[in-house]
Amino acid sequence: MSYTPELRELMKKVEETRPSRVGVNYPRMTPDERRDVLKNFHPDYIEDGFREVRVGVDKGTRLTNEMADIFEAYSRLKDVEIDLTVEPDYDVDILIIGGGGAGASAALEAHAAGSNVMITTKLRFGDANTMMAQGGIQAADKENDSPAIHYLDVMGGGRLENVPELARALVMDAPLVIKWLEDMGTMFDKKEDGTMITIHGGGTSRKRMHAARDYTGAEIMRTLRDEVLNKGIKVVEFSAAVEVLLDDNGNAAGAVLYNLETNQYEIARAKTVIIATGGSGRLHYRGFPTSNHYGATADGLIMGYRAGAKTIYADSIQYHPTGGAYPPQLLGLLVTEKTRGLGATPLNIKGEQFVYHLETRDVASSAIIRECEERGLGIPLPTGITAVWLDSPIIDLIHGEGTIERQLPAMLRQFQRFDVDIRKVPMLIYPTLHYQNGGLLIDENSLSTVKNLYVAGEASGGMHGTNRLMGNSLLDIIVFGRRAGRHAAAVSKDMDTPAGLNLEHLNSYHKELEETGAADGRVGPMLLPRYTHR
């Protein structure tokens, strides 16, 4: 048991109030209360964390300081000699940058449509936030549900700032995606008769969260990856794209790749390019820890932006209410929302609930920050930070002994590794940097504002407005990955090999940086975060 004696003493309050909380729902906030807590406590509203970007197509747009730093940076190729007149190292119809769920889905669809596809990826194929998504994937495939009801949840959760056509595509494709994945052999939680087991997520009005235990993303990713390999699709690992190449018409036509192990550059020519590089949690906005993958450094965003792709809500960041806070080895790691879906409730130092356990993520995070910062009712930890309890043992009280073991094996195992048994003691949590709600703007075919340049998955934006609901990200990567793959395949079919490959856009971008003095010597994309201490 790795909780300190002080924590064990405080924990008694949780045990005291537990019996009175079983089966009792804490009231939801009114719409006004929700708006109020967001405005006062959500990091998206804390103005000193943001600035206007001084260069590029969205000059003057508000970004987090950390993302603006990445946008206001020189290319890694600034002083590198790249010969674009020789035969490229790779020559394909479709170049997919990123080997997560969106990239793999795009590859499968494009391959099925007859295109010559290649995936290039910074780390291993499958090293992505997809792999870490635990709780579930939404789809309206029950009789009491419909894509329209799902749509209303998506829009309301997204503060009605979503691009309607993208939200429509997201929810309408959802049942098709579940079927596609299941036909491929993805193992969702089901009853004996085949019925999908679904539960609530934060902000859902119907139980439409499909899961594969709490390894949902991992199960989807390994299945997609296996299928890509079965199809013989070319995958180049440890090869990060650093810039998009344009042709003589200014359309996307490939990318410059950087072999992380040999430090050499390579050229990939392609008729169409799909950016599927994921999110940006490793930029650690406002110093927050993150639940994100090692490679989540916004590479695709800056590459696409330099090539002229416009952004949408790139300043909107999702803080997941339940990041691990203690033991210190679990700091920032995701405690799946499924834990709350199963009934675990956030509690303050007095063992009292202070927010309905299934508010949307933005509201729940803000309420936890308020409880700790304004009300001073957080639990002080030996590491110097404060946190709140998440009462996990109540799950087995509500649903019967063994529920945690069956439904949350990853969580149980993760905490057990550091001597905390979540069946017996509550978890300690605090919001963690989880997701980039916005990204590069796309249309229903995943096409960016640059011709022949597609974006899918977390790198894209618009469908979620400024707050994504749980289970809509695993959905979004597959929906828009597939759409990108299909459309790119159709477009590539009748296209000649692009000519006049160039990096001219970097020169004009660099000129803007010089004129504004914005770059301050920074170079990007980051590729990998630096955690070395010396």
Show contacts with another protein in window 333-392 (CB under 8 A): 333-334, 383-384
HEC-encoded secondary structure of 26-66: CCCCCHHHHHHHHHHHCHHHCHHHEEECCCCCCCCCEEEHH
Q: In angstroms, rounded to a whole number, what is the distance separating the alpha carbons of residues 531 and 201?
A: 33
Q: CA-to-CA distance for 167 and 176, rounded, in angstroms?
A: 15
Give the sign of the dihedral formed by CA 417, CA 418, CA 419, CA 424: negative
Q: In this structure, how many other beta carbons lie within 10 angstroms of the beta carbon of residue 493?
A: 12
Binder to another protein among 39, 59, 190, 511 (CB under 8 A)? 190
What's the Rg (C-alpha) of the chain?
23
Establish if 5 lies at the interface with another protein (CB under 8 A).
Answer: no
Nearer to another protein, 118 or 307 (CB): 118
Q: How far is the CB of 214 from another protein (least distance, A)?
A: 9
Q: Using CB under 8 A, count the residues that bind another protein.
A: 87
Closest separation in Å from C-beta 158 to another protein: 10
132 belongs to the binding site for another protein (CB under 8 A): yes
Burial class (CB in 10 A: 0-12, 13-18, 19+), 207: middle
What residues between 409 and 448 interact with another protein by CB under 8 A?
409-410, 413-414, 417-418
Question: CA nearest 361: which of 316, 394, 397?
Answer: 316
From 45-53, 55-63, 132-140, 450-458, span contacting another protein (CB under 8 A): 132-140
* 433, β-bridge pairs: 290, 319
Kindly tell me which of 171 and 267 has the beta carbon lying closer to another protein.
171
Among 24, 48, 287, 531, binds another protein (CB under 8 A): 531
Residue 81 binds another protein (CB under 8 A): no
Minimal distance, residue 130 CB to another protein, in Å: 10
Provide the 3-class DSSP secondary structure of residue 212.
Answer: coil
CA dihedral 364, 368, 371, 373 (to 10 degrees): -130
> Of 175, 278, 378, 525, which lies in the binding site for another protein, with binding defined by CB under 8 A?
175
Instruction: Note whether 193 binds another protein by CB under 8 A.
Output: yes
Beta bridge partners of 460: 440
Q: Quick one: which of 1, 229, 398, 495 contacts another protein (CB under 8 A)?
A: 229
The interface mask with another protein, positions 205-224, x = CB under 8 A, is xxx----xx-x-xxx--xx-
> Nearest CA to 276 among 224, 337, 208, 214?
224
- Contact between 40 and another protein per CB under 8 A: no
Is there a catalytic annotation at residue 340?
yes
CA distance 164 to 150: 13
Using CB under 8 A as the binding rule, whether residue 398 contacts another protein is answered as no
Among 27, 60, 232, 521, contact with another protein (rule: CB under 8 A): 232
Q: Which of 308, 299, 305 is nearest to 242 (CA)?
A: 299
**Residue 413 is a catalytic residue:** no
Task: State yes or no: residue 496 binds another protein (CB under 8 A).
Answer: no
528 binds another protein (CB under 8 A): yes
Residues 236-255 that bind another protein (CB under 8 A): 238
The overall longest dimension of the chain from CA atoms, in Å, is 74
Q: Using the rule CB under 8 A, which residue among 31, 60, 400, 517 binds another protein? A: 31
Rounded to whole angstroms, what are the CA distances from 184 to 108, 352, 372? 11, 45, 45
- Identity of the residue, 97 or 309, whose beta carbon is nearer to another protein in the bound complex: 97
What is the distance in angstroms between the CA of the first residue and the CA of the last residue of the chain?
33
SS3 194: coil
Cβ nearer to another protein, comparing 148 with 499: 148
Does 500 sit near another protein (CB under 8 A)? Answer: no
> Can residue 287 be called a binding residue for another protein (CB under 8 A)?
no
Among 120, 186, 277, 280, binds another protein (CB under 8 A): 186
Task: By CB under 8 A, name the one of 172, 377, 397, 490 that touches another protein.
Answer: 172
Q: How far apart, in whole angstroms, are the C-alpha atoms of residue 406 and residue 214?
A: 9
Instruction: Assess contact for 308 and 316: CB atoms under 8 A.
Output: no
Please, which residue, 82 or 149, has the CB nearer to another protein? Answer: 149
What is the nearest approach in angstroms of another protein to the Cβ of residue 516? 31
**Residue 506 CB, nearest approach to another protein (Å):** 25
- Shortest distance (Å) from residue 424 CB to another protein: 19
Quick one: tokens of 141?
């495939």
Residue of 150, 168, 282, 320 marked active site: 320
- Asked if residue 79 binds another protein (CB under 8 A), the reply is no
Residues contacting residue 429 through CB under 8 Å, at least 6 positions apart? 321, 322, 323, 324, 325, 335, 346, 368, 387, 388, 389, 390
Residues 290 to 329 in contact with another protein, rule: CB under 8 A: 291, 293-294, 328-329
Stretch that binds another protein, among 120-128, 452-460, 468-476, 485-493 (CB under 8 A): 120-128
The residue from 111, 269, 306, 340 that is catalytic is: 340
Tokens of 193: 């008769």
Please give the helix or strand (H or E) that residue 70 lies within, else none: helix 65-71
Q: Which of positions 136-165 make contact with another protein (CB under 8 A)?
A: 140-144, 146-149, 151-153, 155-156, 160, 164-165
Rule CB under 8 A: choose which of 83, 87, 183, 496 binds another protein.
183
Residues with a known catalytic role: 320, 340
